[in-house]
Chain A
Amino acid sequence: MYFKLAWRNIWRNKRRTLITVSSIMFAVVFALFLESLERGVHNLTIENMTRFHTGYLQVQDFRYRDEPSLDNSFHFHGSDRDRISHEAEQVEFTVPRIETFMLAAGEEQTRGAMVLGTDLDGENKLNNLEERLTEGRFFEPGDGTAVLGEGLAGRLNLAVGDSLVLLGQGRFGMTAAGKFEVAGLIHHPIRDMNNQMVYISLADAQWLLSAEDQITSLLVTPTHIRHIDTVSESVLESLDSEELRIFSWEELMPELIQALEFDRASTRVMMMILYVVIGFGIFGTILTMTLERLREFGILLSVGMQRFRLALVLFIETVTISILGVLSGFLSGFVIILYFYYNPIHLGGDMEEFVQEWGIEPIMPTALAPDIFLWQGMIIFLLTTLICFYPTIKIYTLNILDSSRT
């Protein structure tokens, strides 16, 4: 009965309802968009940083972290990789890597170099390694060729087709020495990496370092960042070894977290300012609406309607309007977020160029995540409901004579 009354009230003054609903709707849209954009950029930053460095997740021997030596590598066969891709849930792909510090020598020059034995397909999925190639081609597994950073090649005076000597220490103190033909050069935007990196195929690296079927780390990329925990568990389960640990990007790159935390905290502050702004917007609309209807309330009360009933009707009315507002906010918010998801905001100007040089898309995407809708919807709904207590209270304190006079 009350609901019917409230429902009729809502449609009696369509314009008023429309304004109120739209003010709530806009509030929801803004809050949704803000958080979704923040989340999207946040995830993109993590993705780009992890692609460049550590990957989202890394499986390592438990000793490797404190002592990153080849002695602390672990046994990992191609069949392990297949098993993970079959068994483990939400794993998009894995990249096995063996890396160590070695001497790289050309004809005359010798420099320290980071030697990374890896699987090219995996690296391509992870960070489009092949696109960084500026000259030559990439290695095939076990063909005894290497790809090195332009900077390092320059320092060693090496060009495509020349031979590169790698010298260092293999697993368990074995001497590691090998000659590799330079198959190609890559340009890495991070100067230190450009000056230090040597890529060879995993098979070659394992042979060179006397580490057959050994890797130092397995990079695991989940299908989505929110699946990290599930993936961690299922990968470890599938590898089934007491001696392995899995580390998330948060543990691998703590300094990135700080920067991101700072961003998150600042967004949270901005979010609060946004709530103040939209809170006042909604409050203004509802307050004006209440004032507009004081006369009507006064009449209803004077013809004998109980304050409690009137308040209840009004409350149902406002809550219904809130729900309508939030739902329409969801709908338009979803459309807008979806639009910006597929047509993300571009970073303009020289920043766009700079970011592209990194092989990163110069965009600020939105994130499509159900929890954003849930939380923001709930917050705005609560905010509105709180505001809706105002007219209810007003009814209880209303002076009938005064109100019908205005």
Chain B
Amino acid sequence: MDSNRHLSPLAALSNMILLPLLAATLVQSAAAQSAAEIIEQMEDLMRGESSYVEMTMTIERPRYTRDVSMKAWAMGEEYSLILITAPARDQGTTFLKRNNEIWNYIPNIDRTIKMPPSMMSQSWMGSDFTNDDLVRESSTIHDYEHRILREEELNGRESWVLELIPRPDTPIVWGKVLIWVSKENYMQLRMEQYGQSEELVNTIEFDRIQNLGSRTIPTRMTLTPEDRPDQHTIMTYQAMEFNIDIDESFFTQQNMRRVR
């Protein structure tokens, strides 16, 4: 579950942030070129130098459902800050990521704690994400070999189906990943993550395409593990702004207590 960083709020934020990609150096063949270009276009759509987002994470389990609402600010790949706004019990809790470190501020005990490495495999806020997912950086372009598998229609949109195979020395657990990218607007519509015996492990659907932050993007992602069809993690974006006015001094431990 922990490798769903494509879905994790912070990784999602990272995806939105402009990362100077040297796409030209990656180009090896005509097919790879166009696959790489598609991915680049797709990632461009969600990128900005900095961003602000309001979202709700819904964790559906057989025995309960839980909504966590949050606001998040991000700058580059290095900095991000998440403020939990609901449920009431967790309101005011903040997470700060600075490079590889995560800090956690809990208002009811008024304490800031640095997440030790031993806790990295623990679940983040009860979700399918681990703390590690919040800090891990990976690049769809660098870490995978990619090619266009086929073209097909998905949810009424013409799209490419790209196959991504992780490079041998990259720390990626998937055997392969398939992504559907709409030809119009380069939106990611679906992702399938496969294990190493070609078995489907997770399906991620991207839908509710809307205008947010002056871009047309999918505003809902739903992850369903293949072996637990009654279990979902859903991320819904309510508001999004790109290239906001923010600097490094925002991402400090002092600000963790103040931010609202």
Residues in A lying within 8 Å of B, measured CB to CB: 71, 101, 103, 105, 110-112, 165, 167-169, 172-175, 177-179, 210
Q: B63, A172: Cβ atoms under 8 Å?
A: yes
13 example contacts (A-B, Cβ-Cβ < 8 A) are as follows: A71-B64, A103-B113, A103-B115, A110-B113, A110-B114, A111-B116, A165-B111, A165-B113, A167-B104, A169-B123, A172-B66, A172-B126, A177-B111
In the complex, whether B90 has a CB less than 8 A from a CB of chain A is yes
**Given A71-B61, A169-B126, A210-B89, 12 more contacts at CB 8 Å?**
A71-B63, A71-B64, A103-B113, A112-B119, A167-B104, A167-B106, A167-B113, A168-B122, A169-B125, A174-B126, A175-B90, A177-B109
Chain A contacts of B118 at CB under 8 A?
111-112
Kindly provide the distance from the CB of A203 to the nearest chain B CB, expressed in whole angstroms. Answer: 18
Q: A179, B109: Cβ atoms under 8 Å?
A: yes
In the complex, whether B53 has a CB less than 8 A from a CB of chain A is no
Q: How far is the CA of A165 from the CA of B89 in the complex (A)?
A: 17
Q: How far is the CA of A175 from the CA of B126 in the complex (A)?
A: 8
Q: B119, A103: Cβ atoms under 8 Å?
A: yes
Kindly provide the distance from the CB of B118 to the nearest chain A CB, expressed in whole angstroms. Answer: 4
In the complex, whether B221 has a CB less than 8 A from a CB of chain A is no
Q: How far is the CA of A189 from the CA of B89 in the complex (A)?
A: 38
Given the interface pairs A103-B116, A167-B104, A172-B63, the reply to whether A178 lies near B109 with Cβ below 8 Å is yes
Chain B contacts of A210 at CB under 8 A?
89
Kindly provide the distance from the CB of B85 to the nearest chain A CB, expressed in whole angstroms. Answer: 13
In the complex, whether B187 has a CB less than 8 A from a CB of chain A is no
Q: B106, A175: Cβ atoms under 8 Å?
A: yes
Kindly provide the distance from the CB of B101 to the nearest chain A CB, expressed in whole angstroms. Answer: 12
Chain B contacts of A175 at CB under 8 A?
89-90, 93, 106, 125-126
Chain B contacts of A111 at CB under 8 A?
116, 118
Q: B59, A173: Cβ atoms under 8 Å?
A: yes
A174 touches which one: B89, B104, B122, B127 (CB < 8 A)? B89
In the complex, whether B155 has a CB less than 8 A from a CB of chain A is no
Chain A contacts of B113 at CB under 8 A?
103, 105, 110, 165, 167
Q: How far is the CA of A177 from the CA of B115 in the complex (A)?
A: 14
Chain B contacts of A103 at CB under 8 A?
113, 115-116, 119
> Which chain B residue has the least Cβ–Cβ distance from A105?
B113
Q: How far is the CA of A168 from the CA of B119 in the complex (A)?
A: 9
Kindly provide the distance from the CB of A100 to the nearest chain B CB, expressed in whole angstroms. Answer: 11
Kindly provide the distance from the CB of B63 to the nearest chain A CB, expressed in whole angstroms. Answer: 7
Q: How far is the CA of A172 from the CA of B59 in the complex (A)?
A: 10
Q: How far is the CA of A112 from the CA of B121 in the complex (A)?
A: 12
> Which chain B residue has the least Cβ–Cβ distance from A167?
B113
Contact flags B83-104 to A (C-beta < 8 A → 1, else 0): 0000001100100000000001
Q: A110, B116: Cβ atoms under 8 Å?
A: yes
Chain A contacts of B90 at CB under 8 A?
174-175
Q: A112, B61: Cβ atoms under 8 Å?
A: no
Chain B contacts of A112 at CB under 8 A?
116, 118-119
Q: B64, A172: Cβ atoms under 8 Å?
A: yes
Q: A172, B61: Cβ atoms under 8 Å?
A: yes
Chain A contacts of B249 at CB under 8 A?
none
Chain B contacts of A105 at CB under 8 A?
111, 113
In the complex, whether B108 has a CB less than 8 A from a CB of chain A is yes
Kindly provide the distance from the CB of A176 to the nearest chain B CB, expressed in whole angstroms. Answer: 10
Q: A173, B106: Cβ atoms under 8 Å?
A: no
Q: How far is the CA of A316 from the CA of B66 in the complex (A)?
A: 82
Q: How far is the CA of A105 from the CA of B119 in the complex (A)?
A: 13
Chain A contacts of B109 at CB under 8 A?
165, 177-179
Kindly provide the distance from the CB of B126 to the nearest chain A CB, expressed in whole angstroms. Answer: 2
Q: How far is the CA of A357 from the CA of B51 in the complex (A)?
A: 59
Q: B61, A177: Cβ atoms under 8 Å?
A: no
Q: Point out which of B61, B64, B90, B126 has the most chain A C-beta atoms below 10 A from its C-beta.
A: B126
Q: A177, B66: Cβ atoms under 8 Å?
A: no
Q: How far is the CA of A110 from the CA of B59 in the complex (A)?
A: 28
Q: How far is the CA of A105 from the CA of B59 in the complex (A)?
A: 28
Chain A contacts of B127 at CB under 8 A?
173
Q: How far is the CA of A103 from the CA of B118 in the complex (A)?
A: 9
> Which chain B residue has the least Cβ–Cβ distance from A111?
B116
Kindly provide the distance from the CB of A183 to the nearest chain B CB, expressed in whole angstroms. Answer: 18
Q: How far is the CA of A111 from the CA of B66 in the complex (A)?
A: 28
Kindly provide the distance from the CB of B230 to the nearest chain A CB, expressed in whole angstroms. Answer: 14
> Which chain B residue has the least Cβ–Cβ distance from A171?
B64
Chain B contacts of A101 at CB under 8 A?
122
Q: Tell me the B119-152 residues at the A interface (CB within 8 Å).
A: 119, 122-123, 125-127
Kindly provide the distance from the CB of B80 to the nearest chain A CB, expressed in whole angstroms. Answer: 19
